[in-house]
Amino acid sequence: MNTKIILHIDLNSYFATIEQQANPRLRGKPIGVTGGDRLERTVLGTASIEAKKLGIKTGTPIWQALKLCPQLILVKGDSDKYLSCTKIFINILKDYSPNLEIFSIDEAFLELTDPKLDPIKIAREIKSRIKKELGEWVTCSIGISYNKLMAKLGSDLYKPNGLVVIKDETAAQWILNRVKLDDVCGIGHAIKHRLYQMGVRDFPSLRRVPLESLTASFKSYGLVLYNMARGIDHNLVNPFYEKAEVKSIGHQHTLSFNTDDPEKIRQILLKLTELIARRLRAKQLIGKTVSFWLRSADFLSCGQQSTIHFSDGGLDIFNAAWKIFMEIWDRKPLRLVAVTVSNLKPLYPTNLTLLPNDLKQQKITRSIDRINDKYGEFMLKRAVLLKVQPMSRKANPYLSDRRFKI
């Protein structure tokens, strides 16, 4: 192989296999793990290997999955369980190289820095250790190649429990000629549709498109597509301990029932913004841009942004989100609302306030956070939230909000 040797390790049907490992009665059966702690009006966070064979995919709405497979067993997601398993997974990989990039909660890139190491032997050892330390039912697929793009494609080719080596650009182009455009990471539905409009339906035809034409249609991403068709990828493996801080913090909530009651929506929105504010304060961040979007009962979505003074306060975020909501809501029943705070910066250094009311509010907020940290989310809360349905923070699939605990 080339000098650079990169492994992409992908745990197969991660949430589902962890649940099957924890509960032997689920093994060998089609199960679907929900994206949160609910079983209605949501989608599957993961489908088990057995469920995938029946045509059920991750992200399939619950009602649709049950229609495809009436015998599907639904399991509530347990993010703490998966994060604890991910910690074991990462600690295994750290033994082989410091160049470890956590791509998501169940997959990682590992660059071998010692050319004397046998990557195939390392891959088999990783597979063995995962079974030993995470459980006999947990498997992974590994791709080995000269760059990240082809390593990830290699791990996707033969699932579950695959091991594929793509040695060089010649081998890469041979494989690319035999896969679909959207089999490669970086080509989603929208880009695939635009390529189809150009008459490009596979990688051989993409390779024939001049670079000038691709950049004219896709701007800077045209060069990425040009290189992708040739198995070229210059992206480096970014060690997880050097990963930049999150660029935004948000929360969305699917309502248990459609509603056009402004008071119910107001309470839910206030709870969302309090959750976001808690996460900002936990990270010692403040934000300036508030984004709000909604999805109506007929699945139509719309949203808007607003700017506030830099803040980590729930009421500041709520007031901005509520103002947007009142401007864009057409009075139709809603099924989902979402709020995100971006344009973040560290809380410190900052100008200290000497105003008595501000000092008092800061002291109250810190005390409430300490109590909720110890006894649970919303142990102390505003009185207006007493009748709001339970709502808690779930782990981000990309570890953006809890990665320092890994």
Q: What is the pLDDT averaged over residues 272-286?
A: 91
DSSP 26: G
Tell me if residue 34 falls in helix, strand or coil.
strand
Which residues are marked as active site?
Answer: 107
Q: What tens digit of pLDDT does each residue of 149-175 get? A: 999 999 999 999 999 999 999 999 999
Q: How confident is the model at residue 223 (pLDDT cuts 50, 70, 90)?
A: very high
Angle at 97 between CA 94 and CA 103, to 5 degrees: 65
Strands (E), 57-168: 73-75, 100-104, 107-112, 140-145, 163-166
> At residue 225, does pLDDT exceed 90?
yes
Q: Which residue has the higher pLDDT, 354 or 299?
A: 299
Averaged pLDDT of the chain: 88
Lowest mean pLDDT among 124-128, 138-142, 201-205, 399-403: 399-403
Backbone angles phi, psi at 367, to 5 degrees: -65, -45
Q: How confident is the model at residue 35 (pLDDT cuts 50, 70, 90)?
A: low
Q: How confident is the model at residue 224 (pLDDT cuts 50, 70, 90)?
A: very high
Tell me if residue 109 falls in helix, strand or coil.
strand
Q: How confident is the model at residue 197 (pLDDT cuts 50, 70, 90)?
A: very high
Measured in Å, how far apart are the chain's first and last C-alpha atoms?
Answer: 32
Q: Which residues partner with 141 through β-bridges?
A: 10
* 21 contacts 99 by C-beta, under 8 angstroms: no
Could you tell me which residues come within 8 angstroms of residue 290 by beta carbon, excluding any fewer than 6 positions away? Answer: 305, 306, 307, 308, 317, 320, 321, 324, 339, 340, 341
Lowest mean pLDDT among 207-221, 246-260, 358-372: 358-372
Q: Which residue has the higher pLDDT, 150 or 2?
A: 150
What is the token pair recorded at 379?
A: 């142990």
What is the token pair recorded at 71?
A: 């015998």
Asked if the 169-242 domain carries CATH number 1.10.150.20, the reply is yes
Whose tokens are 């995470």? That residue is 134
CATH fold of 1-167 reads: Alpha-Beta Plaits (3.30.70)
- The counts of H helices and E strands in the chain are 14, 12
Whose tokens are 């469920």? That residue is 51
> At residue 399, does pLDDT exceed 50?
no
pLDDT value of residue 389: 60
Q: What is the pLDDT averaged over residues 285-305?
A: 91
Q: Which residue has the higher pLDDT, 242 or 108?
A: 108
> At residue 73, does pLDDT exceed 50?
yes
* 47 contacts 60 by C-beta, under 8 angstroms: yes
pLDDT value of residue 262: 92
Angle at 49 between CA 43 and CA 53, to 5 degrees: 90
pLDDT value of residue 8: 98
pLDDT value of residue 245: 66
Q: What is the pLDDT averaged over residues 361-385?
A: 76
Q: What tens digit of pLDDT does each residue of 95-118 get? A: 999 999 999 899 999 999 888 889
Q: Where are the domains of the chain?
A: 1-167, 169-242, 248-405
Dist CA 131 CA 140 (whole Å): 9
**CA-to-CA separations, 348 to 182, 280, 284, 285, 387, in angstroms, rounded:** 43, 13, 8, 8, 36
> In the chain, pLDDT over 90 holds for what percent of residues?
65
| Architecture of the domain whose range is 248-405 | 2-Layer Sandwich (3.30)
β-pair type (73-75, 31-34):
parallel
Dist CA 333 CA 294 (whole Å): 10
Q: How confident is the model at residue 384 (pLDDT cuts 50, 70, 90)?
A: low
**Fold agreement between 169-242 and 248-405:** no
pLDDT value of residue 397: 45
Provide the whole-model pTM: 0.75
Strands (E), 27-149: 31-34, 44-47, 73-75, 100-104, 107-112, 140-145
* 155 contacts 143 by C-beta, under 8 angstroms: yes
Q: How confident is the model at residue 63 (pLDDT cuts 50, 70, 90)?
A: confident
> At residue 404, does pLDDT exceed 50?
no
**CA-to-CA separations, 344 to 249, 254, 307, 312, in angstroms, rounded:** 9, 26, 12, 10
Q: How confident is the model at residue 361 (pLDDT cuts 50, 70, 90)?
A: confident
* 44 contacts 34 by C-beta, under 8 angstroms: yes
Dist CA 406 CA 402 (whole Å): 7
pLDDT value of residue 381: 73
pLDDT value of residue 391: 55
